[in-house]
Each structure stands twice: as structure tokens, then as C-alpha cells.
A and B are shown apart, each in its own frame.
Chain A
Amino acid sequence: MRVPVAGVTRAVCLCAVVGAVGLLPWLSGRDPALTVLRARSAEQEPTRQALDAIRGALGLDAGPLALLGSWLRGLLRGDLGTSWVSGHEVLPSVGAGLQVSLALMGAALGVTVLLAAVLLAPVLACGRGAAGAGAAMLAAVPEFLLATVALLVCGVWLGLLPTSGWEGPRNMVLPALALGIPAGGLLGRLVADALPAALDERWAELWRGAGVGRARIAAAGLKRVLPPLVPQFGMVVVGLTGGAVAVETVFAVPGIGRTALGAAKSQDLPMLQGAVLALLLLGLVTGALAALVRRRPLGPALRDAGLSLPPPRPVRVHPAVPLSLAAVLLTAVGWGLLRDPYAVNTVARLAAPSWEHPLGTDGLGRDMLARLGYGAAATVGTAAAVCLLSLLVGLALGFLPGVAAGAADIANALPPVIVGILVAAVSGPGVGGAALTVALISWPPLAAHAAALVQEVRASAHLTAQRGIGATPLWILTRHVLPSVAAPVGRHALLRLPGIALAMASLGFLGLGAQPPAPEWGLLLDESRAYVERAPWAALSPALALTLLAALAVSAGAVRGAGNATRGKAHAHGKEGSSHGEDPPREGSPRRCLT
């Protein structure tokens, strides 16, 4: 019963996404004719006739269905239309961008695999051990932050490598590193979490007892662990398409991600449609490839038995780590809140840290510490609202596991940045749109956790007893099921707060979230990027704050094993009472670092 429901939901969601892309010009609501007029001829007055002429030429007055129809017909003929801004055909630009992006992603994939191998080496050599903590940290650092720091250190201070453009292999190094390191960390962590448990299984004991060499056992362990993780590797690659947007923007690489972002900002909707479609296609092809690859080593085992891994042994972190990180952040934020984030002082522009300005000043002479403090306060408020929204969605869908599975597949296959671009194209960039974006993609792990708990509670004898005493379904739901599900899922949602704040920051960095002069952290980093050579501290303090936030996200999740990718329903029916509601969240997907 569950598979068809998930399949139908998947198809419906996919159609909805493609439909939303096709309807962008109509959904965006604002008048694109004005944008086009401004872009084409700056001196022409925006008279009614001129605007009407443009509307007629673009087909905007035909209504949404006709618009979607003509776009789809063009799509079938391989015609993506012409750019509103440049007047050029969309398809060649998309093709050129795709080529660049594919090369970049290929290089990044190389970095990913290399890094994962380095992270796994100690685990494989010793048979057990914890590569998890470092890998998890690397996985949590968002690409935009890593790209900015790489730009600052390697490009500007050391002057080793070119920091912008796309001329030769030397241009590729920094972007590929920035893109590949978080993905490599994620990949390494997934395998490192699963491997020790697999190497403790009976067969490994037996092989050791029989005198089989370490290398062969390690190889067999890898073979055992990799196939079930392939779908998640597919998602890592999909994540690269999202990360590419930030990295290409920072390093001025003319790839498809930057094209999409630029088109979204300039309201060039045909170009945006083409670029987003290309990115979606890239994600879908990757997902299909992953499914194929997975079928190959497993074959019938997949169909017949549903091969699953033993529950992974995630790295546990002492609660003192996240607590002290939170304390450091709170201190800085509290101090900053006592100051004025908007006071412009052009005399003290880009001042170095001093007693008067502990973190220096930005390009307008505003106090960085104050801006960090106020930015945090605003971000935490928004992130809390997003958290609550995704908690509600997750709880609701937890009761409909079939629907949730299909929708979660699509939500997982969509890089957050692309959702952010679409939302920004529809509603204009802003905090509300960014919050909606993050809420749209952050519910699947919560829904998976809720679904597992619902299943566990429903299977318990005391619910049967409730029906036995004549209780109505509503009574059972409100008195028994919801209370035992809502509390643990709520705690889980709370642990995701730093990750959500980080996602908001990455959208802010790309100009898709909070708008200047709001002191949002991602925006702070973006604004200071222009001055990195003269005033590196202005970029370093938001970068440091974001790194602390990433560390907080990782360590908060690891305290109780929350947020770790687990598979199967191995211990869904643990001993009632003791295990009740304390299971680690089960997810269908690795936690992406939300860029």
C-alpha cells in the first residue's frame, strides 16, 4: 500500500515543481515588463504603451495556462525561449553554463572522494575508531563560508591561486575545494558511522577467527556498507548542484548556478526557467544513476530482502561542547545587543578592532559586534518560527508515511538554494521567502522521526487496550499518540535550530534572504567580501561566528545522536517504557549542510 502512495506523491510533487517553474512569469506577480524595459533601454520612459507592447511581445497577457502550455511546447521542441534581459537564446547560455558547472562538479567530486578516503583511512586501518567528529564538522561548514575563507586565505593573503574567472585548471582549484570539502566530510561521516558496526558483525568475527587478513576484512566491510548508502551518495551529488550556486558566485565562475542566481536577481525569467530546469535535470539524473548503481552490486537482495545496515554508532559528544559554544556565541551576541548596529560613522570606515569597536567596523563605519548581535537576534527569531513550521509539517506528515516518503524524496532532491531561487523569483528576495524556503526543505527528517514514533506507539498494546475500552480515534490521538510523539520530535526540531539559522544565513549571503541594511550574518559576510583585502577582520568575524554556529549545529545533534542518518526499523519495538520516545531520529537522508 505504501509504495504506490509514495510513488503517486512523488509524481505529483515533481509535476508541481515543473509546473511552478513553467508558471514563474505569472506567479511572480510583479510586473516583469518594467524589468525588461529597464534592462533593454534605460532612457525610455515606462509609459503605458511601451509596457503594453512588451507585455504583448512576452505573452504575459495570455494568462497562466496558455503561458504554461507555450512554455511546455517550446520545451518539447528544445526551445527555452529568449532572455528578457539580453535578448539572446536561453539554450546556448544554459548549455555553456552547464558545461562549466559539470567540469567544476567533476573536480569537486574528485576532492570529495579523496577527502572521504582520507577520513576513512584510520577507521579501516584500526577496524574501529572515530573519524566521525571531524568529518561531521567539515560536513556542517556551508560552502559559501568555506569559499569565502578559501578566497581570503589562499587567494588574497597568500596570492597562490586566481580567485575569479574560468580560464584554466588553476581557476578550478579553489572552487573545487570549497565545493568538495563539505561533501567529502558528509560522505566520510556516513561511511565512518556505519563501518564500525558492520565490522563488529558476526561474519567479521568469524573471518578474524579464521585468520583472514585485515585488508580483506576491511575491503569486505566497505563492500558491505557502501551499497545501502548509495542513495545518500546520490543526494550528496545533488547537494553539489546547490553548493555550486554559492561557490560559483564567490569565485565568479560562469556556471549554471551563477546564471540561475543572476537571472533570479534580475527577474530574467526565461533564463531562470532554463537554468533551474537544467539544475533539476542534473539532480534527477544523478538520483536515477544512484538507483542504477545500487541495483548492480545488490541485485535481487534489494528486491527480496531489503538489505539493511546495522544501526550506526554515531560519535557522541559531551554536552559541555555545545553548551560552551552556545555560551561563547551568546556572550558575543549579548554584548553586541548593547550597541547600535545602524549608526553610520564614515570617519571610522573599515576600522581595525579596537577597544571602541571590538570587532572593527564595516564599509560604512558601522560596529561589527553590534551588527553580529542584532543579526543573531533576528535570525534566531526567524529560525525559531521556521523550526515550529517544519515541526508542524513533520508531525502532520508523520501520520501519513506514504505521502511523506514521496514528498520527502522530492524535498531531498531539491537543493535548498534552488528552492530559494524559485521562492525569491515568485515573492521577491526577503526574510519571509528565505524562511519559507528553509521550512519547505527542513521537514523531512522530522517527518521520518515522527512516522517512526507513530508506528511504534500504534503497535503498542496499550493503544489496543484504549480501543478495547471504547475510546474514539480522536481520544486516542489526542490523549495518547500525539503526546508521546510531539515531545521527542519537538526536542529534535530544537536541535536543528542552529542548522536552520545557518541555512537562512546562506540564503542571505546569496542575496535571497534578508536585505540590506539588515544585519543578517550571511549578508554581513557578503558585504565584507568586497573589502577583504583592506579589512579582513570585517569578513573574519561573521565567518568565525558562522563557524561557531556550524560547530554548535554538529555538536548539538551529536549529544543524543540526533540528526544522524539511520536506516531501517531495526528497533522499532524496543522495550516499552525505557525506550519510549528516546529513539534517535531516523532519517531517510543524510543531513545536508543546507546550502
Chain B
Amino acid sequence: MDWLLIGIILSAFFLLGFSRLSSCIYIVALQGAMLSALPLLAKGSFQELHIVLMSLGTFAIKAVAMPFLLTRSIREASIRQEVEPIVSLHLSLFAGGGIAVLAFSSIKALPPALPPFSPMAVPVALTVVLIGFFLLVSRTKAITQVIGFLVLENGVFLFGMNLVGDFPAIVEMGVLLDLLVGIFVMGIMIYHINRTFDHIDTRVLTALQESEEETE
């Protein structure tokens, strides 16, 4: 299980360092897949049906559906294949390291993970959440914003699993559905921003506001 946690945290680091959008999406998918395997490993058996279902559901949504939607929206919006970070990739990586150090050193301040999970799980979850935030803050394109949002959500998911120990399926499903809707909205929005402005730089969204004021 430690392996999966390491994999999840490494994938978050890779997201900070990679500049090609398609590889970023693959990594997010991979992260989702690892995350979906976690409940099964934690229980260590395939006996409980709702765990298996939940695992499968997570996998379907996080590792298949969302990446597929994202890839499609890239293709349809014919976005250039590179992220345009506000903070340079080197510095993002440094920041990622710093975030990890911070998260791991606050291990005592955080509530401990419940038994099936290793004590490392909580700081890992925190790191992933923070890196997600960092991605949201430091990237300009709408699609990278979505990716950052996904990473953030993955972190929250992991957090929830660690702290609750059990998996209240309904809550989880609700979260996942929320997200799915979010992705749809984002996808449509990306498509439309692209139609209207020929690019998907969220910084330019502020231009909308000004133009409204002008028309008024």
C-alpha cells in the first residue's frame, strides 16, 4: 500500500514538471487508477461488495471517463499541447518539494490515519491537496485548471478514506457525481471560451467583465 501512496505523490510531482498537456492527462488518469485501487488494498479482500463497486466506480470515473473527456475537449478545442505556467516548471518542482516537506513535518499536528492505512497516508493526502491548489494557482489554461482541480479532489478523496477508515459510499458517489458535473461544465465552457476568444487563457476572462461594464 505504501507503494501506491508513493506512486500517488510522485504522480502529483510529475504533474508539476511536465509541460505537455496530454502527458499531464495520462498522469492524472494514472493517479485516479492508483487511488481506486487503494480501498481494495486497504480491506485486503474482495468480499464486501460495496467496496468493490466503489473501487470500480472510482476507476471508471477517475481513470477512464474524465481523462477521456479531457482528451476530447483538447482535441475539439485544438489547444496547443503545452501548459503555460505562471511559475516556471523548475520553481514549481522546488515548490512541490517544499510542500511535501511541510506536509510531512506537520504529521504530528494532523489526526492520525485509521488502522488499515499507513501513517504516511495523511501527509501524502495533504501534499496532493496542496499541490492541486498550487496547480490551480500557478497555471493559466482552463484545462490545466481542471487538472489541478482533479488533483485537489483526489487529495480530498484520499483524506476522506484515511480519516473515515470506512467508505460511506453514498457520500463518495455524491462527490464523484459533483465532479463529473463539474467536468462537463468545464468542458462545455472550455469549448465555448475557445469558440468566442480563440484561446483558453483564464487570465483573459477578466476582459469579459470590463466589456460588460462598457456595454452598460
**Does A pair with B?**
no
Residues of B within 8 A of A (CB): none
Residues of A within 8 A of B (CB): none
